[in-house]
Structure 1
Amino acid sequence: MHALVTGGAGFIGSHIATELLERGHEVTVLDVLDPYYDLRIKERNLELCREAGGDRFRFVEGSVTDEKLVRDILSSHDVEVIYHQAAQAGVRTSVENPKKPHRINTTGLLTLLIAADEFGIRRFVNASSSSVYGEVEYLPYDEDHQTVPQSPYGVTKLAGEHYCRLWDEIYDVPTVTLRYFTVYGPRMRPNMAITNFTSRCLNGDPPVIYGDGQQTRDFTYINDVVDANLTLLESAECDGEIVNVGSTRTITIEELANHVIEETGANVDLEYAEPKEADARHTHADVSKACDLLDYKPSTGIREGVSKFVDWYRQNREWYEPLVRGTQQTRTSPSSTS
């Protein structure tokens, strides 16, 4: 099987790509290499793909908005499955520059869907976000909860979900949308809460919490997200569906920071700062639908996951930490939801 993974040099995309390659599939990664964070992290992700796949791996640098490039890839490589992970991430970034996420997250997705119809793609997996829920009516969120996004990023992701539904219904392109709940793990973006907390603690600095620390998040370990995605290689029961992918449990940001302190052995206290605009107060996934349709069973809780991440961070500190420390001022919110 040949898969196209858009955004495959990024955190989630590269994990999906390497797992596909390790299972013997062919993979083409399309990534624009946007310097939203240090590109050396993405370059290292691509190295891991090459190591896993050898001549079964191909990297194409370019944008999902490039119609000709997308068509060339699909026409020349017999792609059967598209894992669409490319996106302009960042809730607060979208508030500052709403045009950029619209172009990538909406126009780019539409470009791919049109090409998927033309070339008979047998499965299109779209990465969405818990940011589409926005205002809380009840928790945990099930897929029928109202969607009132509180940021331009969330709006673009919701628009993408509707496009996928229409392409499944009107054009018979088998689409599935997975709504991710705060994914974390090795090689995660350096401007995420767990990364920043870990870096600061290992350097004897206190974690900085924006707000009162009572915000709650459903953090999802990367291996569980990859498992959900790869299950869709075989399952046809999800065609046209939108499915939550979370961990089923929540933790406050304050508890998370204290757990990182405990895991790193740091002798520091917490610091607090003003809350950030557009960050959700709470997220919590109802994954009953994923369990029913995908036999999804999240296996890594937040405490075990943080322990694994801290161990990985220590082992990779020499190359990873300078990139984290260099980008911490880019986005230090404790509550990214993508």
Structure 2
Amino acid sequence: MAVIDNLDPYYSKKLKKKNLAKNRKIANKTGSELDFINLDITNFKTLEKKVKKIKPDFVFHQAAQAGVRTSVKNPIKPAKTNILGTLHLLKISSEIEAKRFINASSSSVYGDINKKKFKEKAKENPVSPYAVSKLSAEKYTQIFKKLYELPTVNLRYFTVYGPRMRPNMAISNFVSRCLNNKPPEIYGNGKQTRDFTYIKDIVKANLKLLKTDQADGETINIGSGKKITINKLAQKIIKKTGYEGKPKYSEERKGDVSHTLADTTKANELIDYSPETEISEGINKFINWYKENKDWYQPLI
């Protein structure tokens, strides 16, 4: 298995290298090898040379400049990485006749839509540069399916969390702050709701696409199908960590949406996807993992 990443300092490169080392150990235990290539997907010539040498059967495109708030501050970077980078990978994947191209998209493409549950057929209404870039990547993916006959799938992830998660997310920040005797910080009034999806369920959905072609050309929600308010999330983490204080509230951030909730009917029908990890269980797992790994995993606190 080959992994391409540019180790962008969007968050700690040290943390990323630790993640890489741990993933190498996991691969070795299963009798596999992890070939890491330090490369930016916007560098087309070098990327083309490397990927054509590897010639993978399946391309799992997880690379992106993440972060809604970051994209509001710098709208150019996510456009360059998430649109141009995706286009580079699609072109190369088409040329090597990959069996399938799986694109990691985002629930952010829906924006603020007035729906209880988000269905894939809903009209997208992105409200941040990041969301626009992810929707554009989806459209390019669909075009390569139609024009170049490259088997493609878009997976719209709903707020992924779990061990080794991106450090500047609500759950990682709440847990680290509480365990360091600091109040979890909530942006806005905390009444926003989110569909949090445990990493194991995300991985399971991706692995399903190694064994079926029923989803080719499709865009599919991958979420838990349940929602929780940010206030309630903070209270759960406060209780589970034993923190004795209360959350602190800061100004709402531009580009954030008020509500997300996945309808996973299509995922269940096409790839037999059924989320297994409830939010309380997932939080417990992350807290336990954090306690065991806090010497090197240090979210923003």
Q: TM-score, normalised by structure 2?
A: 0.97
Unaligned runs of 5+ in 1: 1-26, 329-338
**Cα shift at 1:163:** 0.5
Match of 2:217 among 240, 243, 260: 240
What stretches of structure 1 move > 4 A for 4+ residues in a row? none
The one-letter code matched in structure 1 to 2:72 is: V
Question: Aligned equivalents of 1:306 and 1:81: distance in 2?
Answer: 32
Counterpart of 1:164 in structure 2 is 141
CA distance in 1, matches of 2:158, 2:27: 29
Shift of 1:179: 0.2
SS across alignment from 1:243: strand
Give the aligned partner of residue 262 of structure 2.
285
Question: Which is further off, 170-179 or 52-61?
Answer: 52-61
Is 2:29 the partner of 1:46? Answer: no
Aligned to 1:33: 7
Superposition deviation, residue 56 in structure 1: 2.2
What is the aligned partner in structure 1 of residue 79 from structure 2? 102
Kindly indicate whether residue 157 of structure 2 is the aligned counterpart of residue 183 of structure 1: no
In the alignment, structure 2 segments of 5+ residues that lack a partner are none
Provide the C-alpha distance between the structure 1 equivalents of 2:40 and 2:226, rounded to a whole number of angstroms.
36
SS in 1 for 2:281: helix
Whether contact under 8 Å (2:15, 2:296) holds in the other structure is no
Rounded Cα–Cα distance in structure 2 between residues aligned with 1:52 and 1:306: 23
Rounded Cα–Cα distance in structure 2 between residues aligned with 1:179 and 1:195: 21
CA distance in 1, matches of 2:231, 2:27: 40
1:294 to 263, 267, 271: 271
CA contact 1:224–1:300 (8 Å) conserved in 2: yes
User: Offset of 1:52 from its aligned partner?
Assistant: 2.7
3-state DSSP class of the match of 2:18?
Answer: helix
What is the aligned partner in structure 2 of residue 312 from structure 1?
A: 289
Partner of 2:92: 115
CA shift, 1:94, in A, is: 0.6
RMSD: 1.1
CA displacement, residues 288-309 of structure 1 (integer Å, 9 cap, x when unaligned): 0000001001000111100110
Aligned to 1:148: 125
Match of 1:261 among 233, 238, 243: 238
- Contact 1:137–1:145 under 8 Å retained in 2: no
- Residues 118-168 of structure 1 show CA distances to partners (whole Å, capped at 9, x for unaligned) of 111111000000010012131200001110100010001000101011101
- Secondary structure of 1:205's counterpart equals coil
Which whole-Å CA distance do the structure 2 matches of 1:125 and 1:156 have between them? 17
Q: Letter of the aligned partner of 1:32 in structure 2?
A: N
Following superposition, the deviation at residue 74 of structure 1 comes to: 2.4
> 207, 212, 229: which one pairs with 2:189?
212
Separation in 2 of the partners of 1:78 and 1:107? 21
Residue pair 1:125, 1:178 contacting (<8 A) in 2 also: yes
* 1:194 equivalent among 157, 162, 171: 171
CA contact (8 A) 1:140 1:284 kept: yes
Within 2, Cα distance between the matches of 1:69 and 1:34? 17
2 CA distance for matches of 1:272 and 1:35? 27
3-state SS of 2:173 partner: helix
Figure out how many residues of one structure are paired with residues of the other and give that number: 298
Matched, 1:56 2:33: yes
